[in-house]
Structure formats: structure tokens, C-alpha cells
Amino acid sequence: MTDQFNRKELSLLKYHRAKLKNEEYLDDKEGLTTINIIGVTGDDGKIYNVPGYDKGKRLTEKEARDRAAKIGFSNYPSYNTGKASNVAARKLHKVIEADARQFRSAMKRNKRGLDRST
């Protein structure tokens, strides 16, 4: 399933999975997020898909862009159009959502296991 992604898109997926593994996520009214991919325009006019979640909070587009600029836009997947960026983000999001469902299911199983042991 991940063979449809390029190296930089896979790095976003790896970022997301590392956040899940370390239980660094936000579960709010908008749902569970570890990455919240946002498309931002780089200095070169290309659209970059970057994490819009960091340190326990959802970032504004400006915060996400500033963070990506500091890290370096070259570390993120880029697209010539917003449409291409959105298509790529939706493909990644399908995998991310599947991971989130699996994660929540595991968390429920663990909680039930803990509840039974008390």
C-alpha cells in the first residue's frame, strides 16, 4: 500500500507513525491527529505538504509554513498545483486514518485489559 508514495511522502507517513508509537497525538473534536497535513506555498511557488501538528497542538497555516521553512522545504513533498497537493494528501490520509482506527482499537483493548485487572 505504501508503494504508491514517493520518498518524501513516506517521510510524512513515518513521522505520523512515530508520533503514534510515542503516543504523541491530539484527540479533539476534529479527531485524532499526529500530523494534520497542511499544504503551504514555499518561496519557490510550489505547494508543500507539511505537518500541521506539533508539540500537542494544531498549527495555523502560518505556523506550519514557518516551521517547515525553518526545517527546510526540501524535506517535504512538493507539488506544482494545489490540486496535486490535495490528491497526494488524501492518499496519505487514507493510510493515516487506517492507522488511527487500528491505534484506537488497540487502546480500547488495552484499557479493557487494565479494567479487568483491577
Model's pTM, two decimal places? 0.86
- The predicted pLDDT at position 111 comes to 64
Helical pair 82-117 and 7-21, crossing angle rounded to 10 deg:
20
Positions of the chain with pLDDT under 70: 1, 111-118
Q: What cell numbers appear for 104 in the block? A: 484506537
- The predicted pLDDT at position 117 comes to 46
- The predicted pLDDT at position 108 comes to 79
Alpha-carbon distance of 33 to 44, in angstroms, equals 28
3-state secondary structure of 50: strand
Separation of CA 23 from chain center: 14
Q: What cell numbers appear for 53 in the block? A: 501538528
- The predicted pLDDT at position 118 comes to 41
